Amino acid sequence: MSKVIAVNAGSSSLKFQLFEMNNESVITSGVIERIGLEDSVFTIKYNGEKDVQTLPIPTHKEAVALLLDTLIKKEIVKDLNEIRGVGHRIVQGGSYFKESAVIDDYVVEKIDELKALAPLHNPAHLIGYYAFKEAIPNAGAVAVFDTAFHQTLEPRCYIYPIPYKFYEEHKIRKYGAHGTSHFYVSTRTRDLLGNPEHSKIIVAHLGAGGSLSAVKDGKCINTSMGFTPLAGIMMGTRSGDLDASVVEYLVDTLNIDMHELIHILNKESGLLGVSGISSDFRDVQKAADEGNERAKLALDIFFRRVIAYIGRYFIALGGCDAIAFTAGIGENSAYARKEILSLVSEALGIVIDDDANENGKGERLISKPESKIKVYVVPTNEELVIARDTKRLLNL
Ligand code: AMP
């Protein structure tokens, strides 16, 4: 028996999934939220039951201790040493990591160095790493980088057309994000295509955060997020691509500082900013259905920004065998998929299978046989990638 836990430590949260790697089954999963507050919330799912507790959890150290205690109390594991590996999701690996890595002093140093590029995430990942290391010192630890899959981009795709010295001296370039999801979904899509020698796949990861990627023969050749996740398509609260002059103009006009404005672009823009209603796709859709014009406009912009990348990547790939939809909106909203596909169907020869789109469940084909491009829904599974890499790199 070899158990591996996949961990995603955020600044005030810690998500986990414990796997039995012999059959890749999820034994238990959950999340600890609002760490540092009096009313932290610990949710754990086990044996088809969900337990939710509200209690004060001051730091990640106590969060990990509570989680591990619970695993013993609920007899999910008999001994913590059954957990042989801990896989940590790391948002920013910069240009240092082209693949996952066993965490040693060098890896810690680089994750720490890269906090300049991911100030909210990388420090939290390290806190999570130390908390698990202290609690289960015998388990190995692996870092799975959200940027690694995009490291195959060529300079012509990742260099910004600004003075080159900014790249050389300050590492300003496109890094992308959601790489673990793009890797999983594009690999599954290739499987669904029958693992052809050559494949051209566009992945549309549409969730609260969203990004598209172009994957040729298993290698990512471009992706829509940039130096940070602020770039690319419109998202729940992020603007996506924007003329940088707007930043200077608003800073001057509103007399606010740059950090405030970047906060607005990250947290108060996107679907929320345009609709004025919500960052949640379902809320915006409901308002649009009820006739709210700004909600309709928000959705229109969202769809058009997605198809702009589909078009771009269709050209970049020199055609396309399959488009795969994933994440909260991509997996669950037949309406969003239909709207997006309708906008490109004439140009790309896509014929949607409405029944499969609307009534099917989970991983499936949603285009008709005569469609020039196959379209799939592929539920993402970043945790499984993290657990697999952890098992592989630790030789479990
Ligand atoms: P994620 O970040 O992947 O969890 O995705 C969150 C987004 O998915 C939110 O905007 C949700 O409104 C959206 N979402 C989740 N379920 C549905 C659904 N059934 N229909 C439409 N959107 C959904």
Question: Rounded CA gap, 238 and 141, in Å?
Answer: 32
Ligand 1 centroid to Cα of residue 41, in Å, is 21
Percentage of the chain with pLDDT > 90? 96
Mean pLDDT, residues 66-73: 95
What integer pLDDT is reported at residue 207 of this predicted model? 95
Average pLDDT over the chain reads 96
State the pLDDT confidence band at 282, using cuts at 50, 70 and 90: very high
Write the CA distances from 150 to 187, 224, 374, 379, integer angstroms: 14, 10, 23, 20
- Minimal-distance CA residue to ligand 1 atom 9: 280
Q: Which of 120, 221, 132, 141 is nearest to 176 (CA)?
A: 221
What integer pLDDT is reported at residue 325 of this predicted model? 98
Class of residue 355 by CB neighbours under 10 A (exposed 0-12, middle 13-18, buried 19+): exposed
Question: Rounded CA gap, 275 and 75, in Å?
Answer: 47
Does residue 249 register a pLDDT over 90? Answer: yes
The minimum-distance atom of ligand 1 relative to the CA of 236 is: 10
Q: Which helix (H) or strand (E) holds 284?
A: helix 281-289
Question: Rounded CA gap, 241 and 172, in Å?
Answer: 16
Question: Rounded CA gap, 243 and 317, in Å?
Answer: 26
329 lines ligand 1 (CB under 6 A): yes
* CB distance 78 to 133 below 8 Å: no
pLDDT in tens, 377-391: 999 999 999 999 999
What integer pLDDT is reported at residue 1 of this predicted model? 66
Of 282, 284, 331, 339, best ligand 1 pocket probe by most atoms within 8 Å of the beta carbon: 282
Mean pLDDT, residues 163-181: 96
Q: In the chain, what are the helix, strand and coil shares in percent, each to the nearest 5?
A: 45, 20, 35
What integer pLDDT is reported at residue 117 of this predicted model? 87
Question: Rounded CA gap, 211 and 285, in Å?
Answer: 20
207 lines ligand 1 (CB under 6 A): yes
Question: Rounded CA gap, 7 and 141, in Å?
Answer: 10
The catalytic residue among 39, 51, 69, 146 is 146
Q: Which of 26, 27, 7, 25 is nearest to 16 (CA)?
A: 7
Mean pLDDT, residues 247-274: 96
What integer pLDDT is reported at residue 17 of this predicted model? 97
Q: How many CB atoms within 10 Å of residue 289?
A: 11
Mean pLDDT, residues 130-144: 95
3-class SS of residue 206:
strand
Question: Rounded CA gap, 35 and 56, in Å?
Answer: 8
Verify whether residue 283 is a known catalytic residue: no
Q: How many CB atoms within 10 Å of residue 163?
A: 10
Cα-Cα-Cα-Cα torsion 182, 183, 187, 192, nearest 10 degrees, comes to: -20
280 lines ligand 1 (CB under 6 A): yes
Of 182, 333, 337, 382, best ligand 1 pocket probe by most atoms within 8 Å of the beta carbon: 333
Strand order in the sheet with 83-90: 49-55, 40-46, 25-33, 14-20, 3-9, 83-90, 140-145, 101-102
State the pLDDT confidence band at 120, using cuts at 50, 70 and 90: confident
Of 180, 184, 329, best ligand 1 pocket probe by most atoms within 8 Å of the beta carbon: 329
Instruction: Give the residue with greater pLDDT, 116 vs 32.
Output: 32
pLDDT in tens, 312-358: 999 999 999 999 999 999 999 999 999 999 999 999 999 999 999 99
* CB distance 207 to 280 below 8 Å: no
pLDDT in tens, 37-47: 999 999 999 99
- Minimal-distance CA residue to ligand 1 atom 20: 333
Q: How many CB atoms within 10 Å of residue 104?
A: 10
Mean pLDDT, residues 146-153: 98
The minimum-distance atom of ligand 1 relative to the CA of 271 is: 10
Mean pLDDT, residues 308-313: 98
